[in-house]
Amino acid sequence: MNYTRPPLAITIDPIRGAFVDTKKRGIKLRYLTEITKDNISFCKELVSLVDELRHLDGIKGNFMVSESEYLAPIILFEKGKIASQIIYSNQKEIVDQHQYMFDSLWNKAISAQQRVKEIEEDIPEEEQHYQTRFLENANEVSEEIKKIIDTSDDDNWSICSTFDGLLMISRNEDFEKMQERLADSSRRGKITRWIGTINKDNVHLVKAYIDLGMKIRHINNMPPMNFAVSSKDLCITIDEMKGGQIAKNLLISNELPYIRHYNSIFQDLWNKSVPAEQKIKEIEEGVILGKTEVIQSPKDIQQLFINMVKSAKHEVLLVLPTINAFYRKERIGIMQLLKQVAEGEHKVNARILTPTNDAIEQRLQNIASGSEQMDSQREEREQKHQMKNKKKSFDIRRIDVQSTSEDDGTALAVAAEKSAVTTVSIVIVDKKESLVIEKVDDSKQDFIDAVGIATYSSSKPTVLSYVSIFENLWRQSELYQQLKESNKQLELAYEQLKKHDKIQKEFINIAAHELRTPIQPILGLTQVIYSKIDGDRSPHERQKQKEMLEVVTRNAYRLQHLSEDILDVTRIESQNLNLKLERLNLDEIISNAINDAKRSHHLKNVRLSYQRDKDNTVFVQADKGRLNQVLSNLISNAIKFTKEGFIIITPKKQEKENKVMVSVKDSGIGIHPEILPRLFQKFATKSYQGTGLGLYISKSIVEAHGGEMWAENNSDGKGSTFYFTLPFIKEKKME
């Protein structure tokens, strides 16, 4: 029924009665009309009379149909009047036809509630009748597009479509208006935006539309459907519109949630895309567009690898993960190829990072030297300069993958390299293309058998990332090489030190031999002569001869003593004071030293005593001869400077510090204040006898045992005390 009918159905009783009656009989009543502001109150009443009421815009004419009858009033638009004439049929075909027609219209209609709401809430016309439709017929699609173009001149359109879509609206005469409108609307500040994949085939079209005021941007990966969206309408097609043909299907919707959704999709794409102008420039200036792809076929990977290296104009960077990877690459001729491009017209700079072994080193040497064509001397110099960043056209650095290293620094560098380079080969050409090859089985000799998939990229960000990875590894390997180099030099220095040490030992040996040997005949023969002094001479003469021989003997001993001291100093200063350590009872050593001193000195007014701690037997780990030397030295010094009084030797265990402290205290003249600060230095003596080496040697011996030595003048102003400490052996440990 058209919009004039609902008031009749309510106000004219017979019609109303008929509706009520029909309903009572349980007949289902569907009423389709155009609900307007004017008839809305009637329609609301009508809702209670019929089973369902629906709205459709602009219904023309009226008809009723049941399962067996068709009835249509002839007067169509006279308000408030029942038609005086009607068309009636019970012909099955006519009834069926109109039943079909009704159902079609019914399906297109919206519910009365929705329409009532629209009117009552005063929703603007353009937002009314939300609906989503699907057209599956090229003609319908064409009509619809024409309609959209006709009615949407005041809207901003956003289109994401292949440029076949653009071609479609260019080729189709029906859409000529589009171009006029486009130009016209852009003059009025309305913007049409289009996103698509621009290539050299559609670049002219793109440019033409840019000239018409369309804003166009480029993306590489198009969504799987083409769509156009404004603030009111959405059109989507999955048709590719190849060659500009009319799309064979079209989904149209004016429902706001869809429209908002597609607008936001469009905005995302717009943000990701690049301006057409930039892309056009790239195409027209022959710049190859970045792409990233996965290559599955090992054969293709190998071919691509070779082609990439061949095409290099400036630089090839290569990272190999394993020694076997090196062999595989060499087998397919990559190394030779690199050499060729390095020597070729472009003088390509080839750099390789690879783990090596001796065999590979040798091959690399051959390749590298061949490419530089230099004599061996120059090459050697060149290699020395390598560390100083000298540019080479063919340069190889070693990635060390040894897992064991004693040197901490080296181990660190190795670890870093190990974690940085994993299992892929990386090749980068001219900073423009990268190929990352995964290996699946490193044990395979053949490239094709060992290789898994590869990722090729000419996309700038990806390739530059690989370049930076390479450069970092390169620098790292340089640092590692430097580390290795300095280790080598350290070893060399150590060797020299060892050599120096050997020379010093030899010197001491010769010096010892030369200083000691002459003393033997002097002492030995003096003694022989002494015992054979002629009995025929007078006792006085015999005494005089004996005195003279005693002088010779005494001085020979002095010379011997000096020789031994000088040898000791030489040993100490060349760190050759070797100790024969053994477990010693300190009591025994001290007692022996005291007894020796008593035997060799005539102690008249001096009491030399040992204050031993009988409860505490101390054992030390020491060189017997050296320890005796220290004690003898301290005791004879004390005797030398003590005319009368006492000399007391006292050991004292210092449990806390695991040390025993031995003191040699005398009542002599004390240490001269001038000497005290440099008492333990060489040649520190105020005495006219003695070399001034004894205390220096003694202190060094004690320190070599892990002890200390010092001295002080006694607090009572008489004499001095010398102290030294030695670590003692814990008896518990010994048990």
Partner 1 sequence: MKSLGYGSNNNNKKKRILLVDDETDVNYTFAIVLQDNGFIVDTFDSPTLALNDFKAGLYELVLLDIKMPEMDGFKLYEQMRKVDNEFKVCFLTASEMFYEEYRQAHYSTIHEHYPIIQKPIKNEELIKEINEILAHK
Which residue's CB is nearer to partner 1, number 107 or number 531? 531
Is the Cβ of residue 578 or residue 609 nearer to partner 1 in the bound state?
578
CB of 525 to partner 1, least distance (A): 5
Kindly state the tokens that stand for 408: 């901490």
- Helix (H, G, I), strand (E, B), or coil: what is residue 138? helix
Considering only residues 524, 581, 607, 706, which one is a binding residue for partner 1 as defined by CB under 8 A?
524
The DSSP output letter for 728 is B
DSSP annotation of 115 reads H
Per-residue string for binding with partner 1, 459-498, x by CB under 8 A? ----------------------------------------
- What does DSSP say about strands 30-33 and 52-55: parallel, antiparallel, or unpaired? parallel
Q: If you search the block for the tokens 């469009």, which residue do you land on?
A: 266
Candidate ranges 357-365, 436-444, 526-534, 591-599; the one touching partner 1 (CB under 8 A): 526-534
- Nearer to partner 1 by Cβ, of 98 and 571: the residue is 571
Closest distance of CB 704 from partner 1, Å: 15
How far is residue 731's CA from residue 327's CA, in Å, rounded to a whole number? 64
Task: Between 532 and 614, name the residue whose CB sits nearer to partner 1.
Answer: 532
**Residue whose entry in the numeric block shows the structure tokens 């790239």:** 282
Cβ closest to partner 1, residue 23 vs residue 561: 561
Work out which of 525, 548, 551, 603 binds partner 1, going by CB under 8 A: 525
Q: How far is the CB of 352 from partner 1 (least distance, A)?
A: 47
CB 643: neighbour CB atoms within 10 A? Answer: 12
The 3-class SS string of 433-493 reads EEEEEEECCCCCCCHHHHEEEEEEECCHHHHHHHHHHHHHHHHHHHHHHHHHHHHHHHHHH
Of residues 187, 388, 528, 732, which one binds partner 1 by CB under 8 A? 528
> Mask 539-578, x = binds partner 1 (CB under 8 A)?
---------------------x----------x----x-x
381-400: contacts with partner 1 (CB under 8 A): none
Q: Nearer Cβ to partner 1, position 346 or 554?
A: 554
**Which residues sit opposite 608 in a β-bridge?**
647
Q: Which of residues 315-354 bind partner 1 (CB under 8 A)?
A: none
Q: Which residue has the tokens 């390997």?
A: 477
Kindly state the smallest distance separating residue 503's Cβ from partner 1, in Å. Answer: 13
Residue 643 CB contacts under 8 Å (≥ 6 apart), including other chains: 605, 606, 668, 669
CA 279 to chain centre: 33
Distance, CA of 307 to CA of 456 (rounded, Å): 12
Tokens read off for 385: 């300069």
* Least Cβ distance, residue 622 to partner 1 (angstroms): 19
573-592 residues near partner 1, rule: CB under 8 A: 576, 578
Name which of 532 and 733 has its Cβ closer to partner 1.
Answer: 532
Of 245 and 560, CB closest to partner 1: 560
CA dihedral 674, 680, 686, 692 (to 10 degrees): -160
Segment 653 to 672, residues that bind partner 1, using CB under 8 A: none
Both tokens of 5, joined, read 């009918």
Contacts of 57 (CB under 8 A, 6+ apart): 34, 129
Residue 520 C-beta: closest distance to partner 1, Å: 4
Q: Which stretch binds partner 1 (CB under 8 A): 172-180, 286-294, 381-389, 521-529?
A: 521-529
Nearer to partner 1, 345 or 534 (CB): 534
Name the nearest CA neighbour of 438 among 421, 423, 449.
423
- SS3 readout for 99-142: HHHHHHHHHHCEEHHHHHHHHHCCCCHHHCCCCEEEECCHHHHH
673 three-class SS = coil
Q: In angstroms, give the least distance from the CB of 572 to partner 1.
A: 13
Which residue number, 508 or 549, has a Cβ lying nearer to partner 1? 508
Nearest approach, Cβ of 595 to partner 1 (angstroms)? 18
Min separation Cβ 530 and partner 1, Å: 10
Give the integer Cα–Cα distance in Å for 159 and 133: 19
Which residue, among 302, 264, 238, has the nearest Cα to 454 in the 3D structure? 302
Q: How far is the CB of 517 from partner 1 (least distance, A)?
A: 5
The phi, psi pair for 223, rounded to 5°, reads: -65, 160
Convert residues 500-519 into a mask of x (bound to partner 1 by CB under 8 A) and - (unbound): -----x--xxx-xxx-xxxx
As measured in angstroms, the least distance from the Cβ of 567 to partner 1 is 9
Nearest residue (CB) to partner 1, 61 versus 518: 518
Give φ, ψ of 477 to 5 degrees. Answer: -70, -30
Of 344 and 518, which CB lies nearer to partner 1 in the complex structure? 518
Total residues binding partner 1 (CB under 8 A): 24
Q: How far is the CB of 513 from partner 1 (least distance, A)?
A: 4
Alpha-carbon gap, residue 694 to 700, rounded angstroms:
10
CB 631 to partner 1: min, Å: 20
Assess 520 for contact with partner 1 (CB under 8 A). yes
Distance (Å, rounded) from C-alpha 542 to C-alpha 548?
10
Among 245, 410, 527, 545, binds partner 1 (CB under 8 A): 527
Between 23 and 516, CB nearer to partner 1: 516
Q: Are 506 and 576 in contact (CB under 8 A)?
A: no
Q: Which of 119, 523, 552, 704 binds partner 1 (CB under 8 A)?
A: 523
* 715 and 702 Cβ atoms separated by less than 8 Å: no
d(CA 315, CA 471): 13
SS3 assignment, position 200: coil
Which of residues 512 and 676 has its CB atom nearest to partner 1 in the complex? 512
> How far is residue 692's CA from residue 568's CA, in Å, rounded to a whole number?
13
Q: Give least dist CB 576 to partner 1, A.
A: 8
What secondary structure letter does DSSP report for 601? S
Strand partners, 132: 253
Distances (CA, A) of 128 to 60, 116, 460, 734: 20, 11, 49, 105
For partner 1, give the closer residue by CB, 560 or 714.
Answer: 560
Q: State the minimum distance, in angstroms, from the CB of residue 518 to partner 1.
A: 8
Stretch touching partner 1 by CB under 8 A, among 319-327, 394-402, 520-528, 677-685:
520-528
Nearer to partner 1, 105 or 510 (CB): 510
Joined tokens for residue 182: 């486009």
Q: How many residues does the chain have?
A: 735
Provide, rounded to whole angstroms, the least separation between the CB of residue 509 and partner 1.
4
Residues that bind partner 1 (CB under 8 A): 505, 508-510, 512-514, 516-521, 523-525, 527-528, 531-532, 560, 571, 576, 578
